[in-house]
């Protein structure tokens, strides 16, 4: 476990503090541990949502089908034909 050296403070209303203390007692942890665990869990959910893209299943299926079908790519084919072929030099 990493050594905890950073400090984080927050202002709460008396009602919020009472709810946090109650919830921490129910969880069997300190208020600090309860708040940190809850904040880290929420952060992980938000970061995961930010890093993923969700699309409808039908769209995803059509995307996979399109990727499976080769495209002629005529511009790329013409460009490849204009490039001289690299000559391999024998290695010693």
Residue 28 in any domain: the answer is yes
Whole-number pLDDT of residue 92: 65
Task: Report how far residue 26's alpha carbon sits from residue 80's, in angstroms, rounded to the nearest whole number.
Answer: 68
Please state the domain count of the chain.
1
Residue 87 in any domain: the answer is no
Per-residue model confidence as pLDDT tens for the chain (92 residues): 789 899 999 999 999 999 999 999 999 999 999 999 999 999 999 999 999 988 999 999 999 998 898 778 888 888 888 887 776 667 66
Whole-number pLDDT of residue 87: 67
Residue 55 in any domain: the answer is yes
With 0-12 / 13-18 / 19 or more C-beta atoms within 10 angstroms meaning exposed / middle / buried, residue 31 is middle
Task: Report how far residue 53's alpha carbon sits from residue 59's, in angstroms, rounded to the nearest whole number.
Answer: 12
Residue 90 in any domain: the answer is no
Residue 2 in any domain: the answer is no
| Enclosing domain of residue 60 | 14-70
């Amino acid at each position: 476990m990493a050594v905890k050296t950073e400090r984080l403070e927050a202002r709460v209303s008396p009602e919020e503090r009472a709810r946090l203390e109650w919830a921490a007692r129910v969880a069997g942890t300190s208020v600090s541990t309860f708040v940190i665990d809850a904040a880290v869990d929420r952060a992980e959910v938000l970061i995961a949502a930010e890093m993923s893209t969700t699309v409808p299943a039908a769209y995803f299926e059509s995307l996979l089908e399109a990727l499976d079908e080769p495209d002629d790519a005529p511009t790329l084919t013409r460009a490849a034909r204009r490039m001289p072929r690299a000559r391999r030099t024998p290695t010693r």
